[in-house]
Amino acid sequence: MSGILRELLCVSEKAANIARACRQQEALFQLLIEEKKEGEKNKKFAVDFKTLADVLVQEVIKQNMENKFPGLGKKIFGEESNEFTNDLGEKIIMRLCPTEEETVDLLNKVLNGNKLASEALAKVVHQDVVISDPALDAIEINIPQDTLGVWVDPIDSTYQYIKGSADIKSNQGIFPSGLQCVTILIGVYDIQTGVPLMGVINQPFVSQDLNTLRWKGQCYWGLSYMGTNIHSFLPPVSTRNSSETQSQVTQNPSSEAEYSHPFSAVISTSEKETIKAALSRVCGERIFRAAGAGYKSLCVVLGLVDIYIFSEDTTFKWDSCAAHAILRAMGGGMVDLKECLERNPNSGLDLPQLVYHVGNRGAAGVDQWANKGGLIAYRSKKQLETFLSLLLRHLAPVDAHT
């Protein structure tokens, strides 16, 4: 079973290589942008793009997993349609071919005869990747393969990926925008219960070599099944937050703000004013804005913030499943915000965890897989309960039920 997780790490790294390769050649990248068809549009953005990199990544993950674990490929679901139309008006179904030469021919059709670009991409697609983690190698778990489903977001934060900003400065370790906000998300869930079991988050653009301009990435994973909880090694927060945090502590030795505002949160730039106003009373100045649902979730996983909160219905199962699995392995989780605000804390009912096996009734297109009630990602249940009680206190009663 951990064999599946090991393979997911490998395919996520292969996916990261594709994402990096597509960004290296600007001329190639201009060819990769294709506007999404109506049924796939994500209403959060006026213009949302599908890239060939997105589709390639998704197809590589599907095909590689199917090759190693027959039958699993059919249960891998994602955001992207693999249909392209080239300049000649030809409809082309993008897939991973058995040989590099065949993939070159197919890419050549999509890329309107750009042979050099097709060959460069096909080479990365067919390159073998070996990645291992001693913590994962030490464990052997058996979960029946036929109980698993997989959500994939091949390149989360497509806008930041297309924009390609490499010089954004972080705020206490959190990047508001830029290539660092791009993630590849793979989440495995139980198809009977919808509970997330395994997650992989690959961050392809973590640090750039200023001489070669090449990027290096980082991969994070977690597994939570039947009382076994294990995740990739995460360095302590103090070593990650570097001098920025240390200088803040020096300037405020009494840490009074820590006591009056015990929580930190990451939010979307499009968050509702009512939520932002309540959050400012709970978190004070410790509210950070960042791009990408996957990246904001990763900020919680890494302990850069306590909470990721989002009140809109424009994140989807493929955005949340991977991080949710990792957070479960760490003792946290991801819950439905609307249900949390409507829940009686004295009812004794469990927190409304997001589930991944059923769509929203009556919805069409991508909306059937939206996290309709918004979400909160957290690292500790006790911390979440305290946070919710403070948030509810500062939200007007009407906001808790809209």
Q: Which of 51, 103, 158, 183 is catalytic?
A: 158
156 assigned to a ligand binding site:
yes
Closest C-alpha to 52, from 31, 77, 76, 79: 31
Question: Which is the catalytic residue, given 153, 190, 271, 312?
Answer: 153
386 a catalytic residue: no
For residue 20, the 8-state DSSP code is H
146 annotated among ligand-binding-site residues: no
Question: Catalytic annotation on 155?
Answer: yes
Residue 158 annotated in active site: yes
Please indicate if the annotation marks 79 as binding a ligand.
yes
**Residues 221 and 328: beta-carbon distance below 8 Å:** no
Rounded CA-CA distance 284/306 in Å is 13
Residue among 79, 190, 271, 312 flagged as catalytic: 79
79 is catalytic: yes
Check 319, 326, 336, 376 and give the catalytic one.
319
Continuous H helices in 252-316: 256-260, 273-283, 293-301
Torsion of CA 26, 32, 33, 39, to 10 degrees: -160
Going 167 to 168 to 171 to 174, the CA torsion angle's sign is negative
Helix (H) / strand (E) element for 134: namely helix 134-137
Question: Catalytic site residue 153?
Answer: yes
Q: How many CA atoms lie within 13 A of 350 on its CB side?
A: 6
Bridge-partner residues for 309, per DSSP? 376
Helix or strand run (H / E) with residue 308: strand 307-310
What is the spatial distance between Cα 339 and Cα 388, in angstroms, rounded to a whole number? 11
How many residues are listed for the chain in this entry?
402
Q: Which of 155, 186, 267, 326 is catalytic?
A: 155
133 among known catalytic residues: no
Structure-token pair, residue 99: 């040989």
C-alpha to C-alpha distance for 50 and 29, rounded to whole angstroms: 12
Catalytic residue among 4, 7, 18, 54: 54
**Is there a binding annotation on residue 209?**
no
In this structure, how many other beta carbons lie within 10 angstroms of the beta carbon of residue 138?
9
Q: Is 33 annotated as a binding residue?
A: no
DSSP string, 199-233: EEEEEEEEEE-TTT--EEEEEEEEEEETTEEEE--
Q: Is residue 184 within 8 Å of residue 202, measured between CB atoms? A: yes
> Is 193 labeled as catalytic in the residue annotation?
no
Q: Choosing from 156, 271, 306, 313, which is the catalytic residue?
A: 156
Binding-site residue numbers are: 79, 153, 155-156, 319
Binding-site residue numbers for Mg(2+) are: 79, 153, 155-156, 319
The catalytic residues are 54, 79, 153, 155-156, 158, 319
